[in-house]
Amino acid sequence: MDRRNFLRVVGATGALVAISPSTISGRLYASNGLYESYERVQLLNADGVAIKLADLKKETNYIFQYPYIGTPTMLLDLEDSTAKDVRLKSDDGEEYIWKGGVGKDRTVVAYSAICSHQLAHPTPDDSFLQYVQKDKKTMACDHGGVVVCSSHLSSFEAKEGCKNISGPASAPLAAVVLEIADDDTIYAVGVLGGDKFHEYFKAYKPEFKKYYGNARQAKKKVTKSATMVELTQYTKEIIQY
């Protein structure tokens, strides 16, 4: 199993400590790090077949629900290898280390698709949040290879832990930690960094009723498996400036 996406936190001595996400239960705080484990969930396609790394298209926005039924996650297979051991900081000022992508070339990453600024996110009707390919530019950023929120023109560096690089967002997108099994199938196992789930669930109760029946259903944790599709299949309209 590929476990290069281990969480690394800064210990009291300042040294980096490697931890396997699968061995952690609950929320971890080390001197300068945080990670929350959730159930290990396998990614499936719309036909219920396990997705493998080899199935992924480069620079394509994929969406699945994790760690809750109502919280969208974005998965990407980037064109280039990601950076390693990127130091990031949450809105609360907590520092943490994003290890990097998974897969042979460290190109596969996943992030919570909830903007750290004002919680814009993909819905079945529209999406203001998406990855922009390397050869494109937007009003939010003068280069591609970034995740952009067109709601308020924030951008995040996809190959560096989705750190905030422009616009009003003051924190990275939370990272969803992935593990790759020996047969190349993909699992989500936890969330690294400052997530926005609490604020999100408070802000979008009418939306949860529309899409999930009620807020209680949206707050249920995903178990065993999650269906992943391209963003163009998930939403009716992608909005980008």
Q: How confident is the model at residue 137 (pLDDT cuts 50, 70, 90)?
A: confident
* Residue owning tokens 């080390």: 30
pLDDT of residue 37: 93
Q: In the predicted model, is pLDDT for residue 159 greater than 60?
A: yes
CATH of 39-80+106-238, picked from 3.40.640.10, 2.30.110.10, 2.40.50.460, 2.102.10.10, is: 2.102.10.10
CA distance 32 to 19: 14
Domain ranges, ordered by start, for the chain? 39-80+106-238
Chain segment 50-65, per-residue pLDDT in tens? 999 999 999 999 999 9
- How far, in Å, are 113, 157, 172, 196 from residue 43 at the CA level? 16, 24, 24, 22
Prediction pTM value: 0.89
The answer to whether residues 154 and 139 touch, using CB atoms and an 8 Å cutoff, is no
Q: In the predicted model, is pLDDT for residue 112 greater than 50?
A: yes
